[in-house]
Amino acid sequence: MPAEAVRWMMTGQGEPLVQVKIEELAPGPDEVLVEIAGCGVCHTDLGFYYDGVRTKHQLPLTLGHEISGRVVEVGANALWWTDRAVIVPAVIPCGQCDVCQRGKATICPNQKMPGNDIHGGFATHIVVPAQGLCAVDEERLATAGIDLADLSVIADAVTTPYFAVVQAGVTAGDLVVVNGVGGVGGYAVQIASAFGATVIAIDVNDEKLAAIAGQGAALTLNAREKDSRALKTAIQQFAGERGLRQTEWIVFECSGTRAGQVAAFDLLTRGATLAVVGFTMDKVEVRLSNLMALHARAIGNWGCPPEFYPKALELVLNGRIKVAPFVEKHPLNEINRVFEAAHAGALKRRAVLVPVH
């Protein structure tokens, strides 16, 4: 048990997060104890904290599900993980139930999400199941010049859009539209581009659009300047100029806003795919019959099966996905300030909170 192990606990909606010393922390036979290198601040964390989205674990609870670190203690059945650098899956399936055995781990009824089902990563240490951990080759990490803390965002901001791209069947020659390119959406642009698609990025923030323009977006459009009809017309014109299909567009809705979801639905073409990646508590009004009339489809995306994590990590290590330019590290003890800044939209990059060990 580490002498200085602490958690930052959520005690109530909007109440200041409180530092609490962890009195006992030992892995079970199939678990490991991870010394946390970094934990990313996700839109979902802000939803729990500010918007009343209910956690499955009762409060007080430690939030945070984008976690990277080093295994410092192992259970009897997890000896292989001793002293390994790892990424902890944002959603940890049991690996044993019927749906897991049929390759549908994202709907595992026994899944554990740090910061929701169990205590999360805004802490110095965390006990998690060894099931699904993603090992990190530290020699390659050093060669790539990436900090282990930066890899924390792979656990959601990278792997979630990675699996969304896989589910949507993105291949070379596709026209992909990503709506909302902060955080998850920015990585969706990079991943779809790495899969060979021509990618159009939409956002309401010119700085975010400028940042992603050099990282895989062939065209950027500001939704504050164009309504849904004008956005669709601009994309049609671009597709015509590039010799791309006017059908079967693949639209990733990553903004997690009511306006963004409506705009994304309005972009559907014949044979299109709408992949809903961002989350909001808001309800939207759309004409579902458009899916029938256009022979289109809409799919959801809850996390990413752990077996895909190494593939997403490989894209980061070989430089096809850039992580460092889109994250900014802050001391864990500044968590309340960082939450306020993230909620106010004052951060230009995804925050990663780093404990001082």
Decide if 132 is inside a domain: yes
At residue 322, what are phi and psi to the nearest 5 degrees? -95, 125
Residues 208, 261, single domain; the answer is yes
List the CATH number of the domain containing 222.
3.40.50.720
Burial status of residue 229 (CB atoms within 10 A of its CB: 0-12, 13-18, 19 or more): exposed
pLDDT for position 4: 82
Domain count, the chain: 2
pLDDT digits (tens, 9 = 90+) for 305-337: 999 999 999 999 999 999 998 999 999 999 999
Residues 259, 166, single domain; the answer is yes
Decide if 1 is inside a domain: no
Question: Do the strands 350-354 and 6-9 form a parallel or antiparallel pair, or are they unpaired?
Answer: unpaired
Q: Can you say whether residue 82 is alpha, beta or left, with left for phi > 0 and alpha for psi between -120 and 50 degrees?
A: beta
Residues 168, 216, single domain; the answer is yes
Residues 40, 145, single domain; the answer is yes
Residues 119, 11, single domain; the answer is yes
CB 353 within 8 A of CB 6: no
Name the amino acid, one letter, at 228.
S
Residues of the chain with pLDDT under 70: 1-3, 357
**Long-range Cβ contact pairs of 271-274 (< 8 A, separation 24 or more):** 271/247, 271/295, 271/296, 272/247, 272/248, 272/296, 272/297, 273/168, 273/169, 273/248, 273/249, 273/297, 273/298, 273/299, 274/298, 274/299
> What is the torsion angle, in degrees rounded to the nearest 10, for the CA atoms of residue 49, residue 51, residue 56 and residue 58?
50
Residues 60, 95, single domain; the answer is yes
Q: Which of 272, 300, 328 is the last residue of a domain?
A: 300
pLDDT digits (tens, 9 = 90+) for 8-47: 999 999 999 999 999 888 999 999 999 999 999 998 999 9
Q: Which of 276, 300, 324 is the last residue of a domain?
A: 300
Domain span including residue 24: 6-156+304-354
CB 25 within 8 A of CB 79: no
Residues 138, 169, single domain; the answer is no
